[in-house]
Amino acid sequence: MQEEETPETPDIETASADYASRFQGRAGQYFLDTQTAAIEDVLSDFDGRSVLDVGGGHGQLTELLLKRNYDVTILSSDERCYERFRGIHPHVNVRQDVGNLLALPYPNQAFDLVISVRLLSHIERWPRLLAEFARVSSRSLVVDYPSKWSLNALTPLLFALKKRIEGNTRTYTSFTAGELAGVLAEHGFAPARASKQFFLPMFVHRALDANAVVRAADTASRAVGLTHLLGSPVILRADRKWGHS
């Protein structure tokens, strides 16, 4: 008898009150506002209806998805992921499921869109995660990821400083666009739109509490193209290629 695989459950921490504290204050709100704008950008021409938010117990996408009139299902790895969610969203009309993130409990192409933030870079078997996203999506998928082609390349050198500033930071995997595109292509998907969020590392924004100086530097980086070239995290949308089912 084949031994059952150990599930991966990084969304338990992501859905916790401790993790949510990372997004308090001016810097935290700036992160969330920038993330929302990036997601709205990549979905600007998407007209689907049914959406699966994988690992979405943190609730960061709920208002955005409902505002766009999607039928929303959230899939978390553990019932604990909804404890805080139900406190901050007591009356939202979303389905809340629990299941294996690497074996999604849905049939093929069950949703128009699969979306997930704060998850991919914390999953060891990430190609399998993407494969599952592609399997249950009929049209598009959206993920975020830290880019290797950014100042994130300095993370191994600066992690101690980052942890001292942020306190509850985690290690994570960075990707190139090509790495993700290669796995997505195996499952009939191709990158369609991307939006890069920050040129300066996020811990710099947090250390300075996203003050006027650092926000001005961020604006200037966008204006001269540095964010477009070397920005991170990246919000990536990939679409199913015609003829692939």
> Facing residues of 73 across strands?
52, 95
User: Each residue of 121-166: pLDDT tens digit?
Assistant: 999 999 999 999 999 999 999 999 999 988 766 655 555 555 555 5
Least Cα distance to 100 among 8, 12, 167 occurs for: 8
| Residue 17 clears pLDDT 80, i.e. is over it | yes
User: Each residue of 28-46: pLDDT tens digit?
Assistant: 999 999 999 999 999 999 9
Please report the domains of the chain, with CATH numbers, ordered by start residue: 11-238 (3.40.50.150)
142 secondary structure, DSSP code: E
Structure tokens at 206: 């947090």
pLDDT at 212: 86
The answer to whether 95 touches 74, Cβ cutoff 8 Å, is yes
- pLDDT tier at 209 (50, 70, 90 boundaries)? confident
The answer to whether 110 touches 136, Cβ cutoff 8 Å, is yes
**What is the C-alpha to C-alpha distance for residues 173 and 188, in angstroms, rounded to an integer?**
24
pTM of the model: 0.90
147 secondary structure, DSSP code: B
- pLDDT tier at 3 (50, 70, 90 boundaries)? very low
pLDDT at 213: 86
175 secondary structure, DSSP code: B
